Amino acid sequence: MVKRIILWVCLACFSAAGLCAKPDTPAAPRAVAIYPDLDGTWFLDGKLKFGCEVVYTDGGKRRTTGYLNGNLPWSDLICESDQAVMEGDRVLVDLFKVRHNNGVLVLRARHRDNARASASFELKIPPLSSIELYLKDQDKPRYGGSIEPLLALQWANGASYSCEVSDPTAIVPADSVQLYFNDMRIYGGKVLLPQFSMAEPHAFTLSVMWASKPWLNDVESFTYIGKEHRRWCFPAAEGSDARRQSIAPKGMDGAEGFYGMAGADARDVSVKLALSDDKRSISVSATNGQRVFTHVFSVEEFSLEIIARGGNGGNGGRGGEGGSAPFGDPYRAGVGGRGGRGGQGGKGAKITIDSTPEAELFIPCIIIDNSDGKPGRPGAGGKGGVFSSGYGTPTLIELLFPPRNYDGLPGEE
């Protein structure tokens, strides 16, 4: 009888506890944040990726699928914009409406179960920061030929884009760029070069300008490249690389690395031009006192490249490795030595051109590269010395990965 009473009391207590317990309340959405792709070119192609993050009352967070690689379904959110159509993590932007809205795209999002959990994001069209013009390597400016310049554009948000000026599929609006050959405006992007003429210059300029911001422009000069194009090189000796520093004695810091040797200065080059009596050929010679080049060019196909750069500096040597710890002082390993400085580059040559009056017209046909040599790379710092494990036997970990003092810094630039 007593056992039955105790069992009944226990069952009653469990039942009461079950009635008093409250079910867990599910977390509710508390806030929404919008994260668009700020580095893209949406302001050109009208395609923008974005995602949303929902914060819940229990502190948890979930991100949408797609762009943010989350697991929150887009059906939980309502996303809108007056300047775009939104499809999941993709936004199809109406650029005309964005420009009409002072260049601002407004995105809005709210949670379907809690309208107060909402957010808006204003994304402004970034300003263009730079514009550059160049030619493809295989696009040689020859008399009577044609060239199609390339554009490299950079915006303030870090986005960049390159295209041919003449490319009709480019996402850059055609009327936003103005191209000039010398002083003549070029429409369509393809530049037709003139036929050879003794009365015309043998070099030309290409310039490009962003129509709405004329101060963003680029001007490049080019020389006509002839079929008889020659490349005369006057090399200067390069500095030798420094050897590696030796290991320091026990307990001592590693020595600084050896410096790389400086590159040699290029020897001065003198060039002479003379037009033939019949004005159909031009004789050219160049020398730096050690090397001599001569050639007779056709006036219609004359172009010459002279390379007289300074020698590159040698690389700095690696700093010395710090000495290992002495047996009697296991914690006094040496610090690795600083790397050696790279050698300086040599100076480029001075180019002197001596020409007859009739041949002066052809001086622009000579392309000169007399830049200074590049400095050598700084050497790496030496490794720190190995600490001793004291008088005991080193562990397997210490044998595989011996503890070291600090490594040395790399050499100065």
* Separation CA 338–CA 365 (nearest Å): 48
Could you identify the residue written with the tokens 């919008």? 34
C-alpha dihedral sign at 71, 75, 78, 80:
positive
Q: Which residue has the higher pLDDT, 86 or 199?
A: 86
The residues spanned by each domain of the chain are: 29-124, 128-223, 227-413
* Separation CA 62–CA 4 (nearest Å): 52
pLDDT, tens only, 240-257 = 999 999 999 998 999 999
User: 158-169 burial string, b = 16+ CB within 10 Å, else e?
Assistant: ebeeebbbbeee
* Separation CA 237–CA 217 (nearest Å): 39
Q: What angle do CA 293, 294, 297 make, to 5 degrees?
A: 130
Query: Does this model's pTM top 0.85?
Result: no
pLDDT, tens only, 45-101 = 999 999 999 999 998 999 999 999 999 999 999 999 999 999 899 999 999 999 999
Question: Residue 279 — left, alpha, or beta (φ > 0 → left; ψ -120 to 50 → alpha)?
Answer: left
C-alpha dihedral sign at 190, 191, 192, 193:
negative
pLDDT band at 330 (very low <50, low <70, confident <90, very high): confident
* Separation CA 9–CA 158 (nearest Å): 74
Q: What is the pLDDT of residue 171?
A: 83
Could you identify the residue written with the tokens 């320091």? 248
Mean residue pLDDT of the chain comes to 88
Is 128-223 CATH 2.60.40? yes
Helix, coil or strand: residue 275 = strand
Mean pLDDT of 293-300: 92
Q: Under a CB-based contact definition with an 8 Å cutoff, are residues 29 and 61 in contact? A: no
* Separation CA 348–CA 263 (nearest Å): 10
pLDDT band at 10 (very low <50, low <70, confident <90, very high): very low
CATH number at 29-124: 2.60.40
* Separation CA 256–CA 335 (nearest Å): 11
Helix, coil or strand: residue 385 = coil
- Domains 29-124 and 128-223 in one fold: yes
Lookup: tokens for 333 = 């390993």
Q: Which residue has the higher pLDDT, 293 or 195?
A: 293
Q: Under a CB-based contact definition with an 8 Å cutoff, are residues 202 and 189 in contact? A: no
pLDDT band at 288 (very low <50, low <70, confident <90, very high): very high
pLDDT, tens only, 104-143 = 999 999 999 998 999 999 999 999 999 999 998 778 898 8
Q: What are phi and psi of 299, to 5 degrees?
A: -65, -25
Could you identify the residue written with the tokens 């508390």? 30
DSSP type of residue 297: E
